Amino acid sequence: MCSILLKNYNLFTLFQIPVVELQDPEKNRIGQWLNVTLNKGIAEFSFALSPEPILGDYTIRIKDTAHIFSVEEYVLPKFEISMEFPPVVMFNSEHVPVKICGRYTYGKPIQGVFNGSVCRKHFYTWRRIGQDLPLFLCHKITGKLDRSGCALTKVDSDHFDLTKSGFQMSLEGTASVTEDGTGIELSTSTSTSISNVLEKVSFVDADPSYKPGIPYSGMLKVTDVTGLPIPDKEIYVTCTNREHEEKLTLVTDSNGHATFKMNDTASWGGQISITAKTHLEEAPHKSNIIQPQYGHAFLSLQPFYSASKSFLKLHSQAKVLPCEGQQEVQVDYIINHTELDAETKSLNLHYLVASKASIWNSGTIDILVESDSRELTGTTSFNLPLSPDVSPNLTAIVYILLPDGEIVADSAKFTVQRCFKNKVSLRRFFFFFLTM
């Protein structure tokens, strides 16, 4: 199929073409369209070639204008090659592994030799007068594919000055493989990035607000540049409240996680900042040298508004819950006693458990009111019913209706293991045959 756009010298569209010709490579007219009507200057038409057409250049001709397209036989390649770098090359690596493989289209490894190069480009493709800076830092690699059709080569990183600035933070590779016996050669190319990030630290599902008087809990995660967790890594946490600072030192578990808890939040006010670092001292700056980057995360907290300064905190679970049984969850509460009537002896804490737009469980917990306390504080709990019906997510909501009509509430989401309603078991049976 082809399309024609026709305009005159004044760029006005035309409405009709007397004749459109199609010629094969031998200049034979094999098709034509007469009195072609154009829609807004555009016409589309198609011509079916024979199953075995003449190979070469075909011509579409309109008056004195011609367009040439080529018909060629497509030959499937006998084999394909690949060149692989690591997803990321660290700037302090001693070697850069390069893997080159060749396989036939049906999967069998090929035998042959390979030639390639790995390069790091300069940021600029020009040189200043008097400067003798290379535009490329390259290293050639050659060798023979092994019986598996692959070759793994380790290139010394000194060839690329990975710690030197002024060059792009990437490596580019090209490779070609020549098949033994036939001399057929195929080429490929690839690239990878260079990173100076040694560690990454981040807050996991952090609550952006705090409730004065209720401990603030959080979780941190430390990974390498590729996202793999780093266990047994120290994290230095600093919580700043106006001019007061609270410092913690955490250590990550096997999953790269570390939890923290700030208990003294009664004195918090205004914006609270929490910073997390994996390294306390910054590396000194050196000209033209790439410095390592360590993990650094920042979290800004705002106070949760409550007219009565009463709060509820429903604690979530970082782990994935099983899809059967029950899970106890805790609720912290602070109720300002001035909001209560003298006759109030207890408060009702209501909870709802919802999943898939349906309420699966609900209940009420009585909280006794002590008349001699300024604030009613404490912790209570209830059980989440777990089943395949609430998998994979459920939400719990807790709330208290104060005598003046204010509602104090909180919610949390929980992840439940994916499982099926119907259980399937497999048993092994043994049959014994006796012959006489």
Give the DSSP per-residue string, 44-81: EE--PPPSSPPPEEEEEEETTEEEEEEE------SEEE
Identify the three-state secondary structure at position 351: strand
How do the domains of the chain map onto residue ranges? 2-71, 79-195, 200-303, 311-415
Six-digit token string for 25: 């490579």
- How far apart, in Å, are the Cα atoms of 128 and each of 132, 161, 163, 370? 8, 20, 22, 81
> Rounded to whole angstroms, how far apart are CA atoms 325 and 51?
67
> Rounded to whole angstroms, how far apart are CA atoms 240 and 317?
26
Six-digit token string for 43: 């016409």
Question: What pLDDT does 135 receive?
Answer: 81
Question: What pLDDT does 436 receive?
Answer: 46
Question: What pLDDT does 371 receive?
Answer: 65
Question: What pLDDT does 132 receive?
Answer: 60
Q: What are phi and psi of 132, to 5 degrees?
A: -120, 70
Task: Please enumerate in sequence order all residues whose Cβ is within 8 A of that of 20, keeping only pairs 6 or more positions apart, or say none.
Answer: 4, 32, 33, 36, 45, 60, 61, 62
Task: Output the tens digit of pLDDT for each of the chain's 436 residues.
Answer: 566 555 555 445 566 778 888 889 998 988 888 887 777 777 787 888 888 888 999 898 887 788 888 888 876 678 899 999 999 999 999 999 999 999 998 889 999 999 999 999 987 655 554 556 678 899 999 999 999 999 999 999 999 999 998 899 999 999 999 999 889 899 999 999 999 999 999 999 889 999 999 999 999 999 999 999 999 999 999 999 887 899 999 999 999 999 999 988 988 989 999 999 999 887 777 788 899 999 999 999 999 998 888 999 999 887 888 888 899 999 999 988 777 777 778 889 999 999 888 888 899 999 888 766 677 888 999 999 888 888 888 999 999 998 888 899 999 999 888 887 766 666 665 555 555 4
In CATH terms, 311-415 corresponds, of 2.60.40.1930, 3.30.930.10, 3.30.70.260, 2.30.30.60, to 2.60.40.1930
Identify the three-state secondary structure at position 160: helix
Tokens 């670092």: give the residue.
277
Same CATH fold assignment for domains 200-303 and 311-415: yes
**Of the candidates 273, 202, 261, the residue with the CA atom closest to the CA atom of residue 233:** 202
Instruction: State which fold the 79-195 domain adopts.
Output: Immunoglobulin-like (2.60.40)
- How far apart, in Å, are the Cα atoms of 106 and each of 73, 77, 261, 418? 21, 11, 58, 38
- How far apart, in Å, are the Cα atoms of 32 and each of 47, 341, 430? 9, 96, 78
Question: What pLDDT does 18 receive?
Answer: 81
Q: How far apart are the first and last CA of the chain?
A: 79
> Rounded to whole angstroms, how far apart are CA atoms 154 and 152?
7
**Of the candidates 255, 257, 253, 258, the residue with the CA atom closest to the CA atom of residue 232:** 253
Question: What pLDDT does 220 receive?
Answer: 96
Task: Please enumerate in sequence order all residues whose Cβ is within 8 A of that of 235, keeping only pairs 6 or more positions apart, or say none.
Answer: 201, 220, 222, 249, 250, 251, 252, 258, 276, 277, 278, 295
**Of the candidates 105, 93, 100, the residue with the CA atom closest to the CA atom of residue 174:** 100
In words, the CATH class of domain 2-71 is mainly beta
In CATH terms, 200-303 corresponds, of 2.60.90.10, 3.30.1330.10, 3.20.20.100, 2.60.40.10, to 2.60.40.10
Question: What pLDDT does 62 receive?
Answer: 84
> Rounded to whole angstroms, how far apart are CA atoms 278 and 295?
5
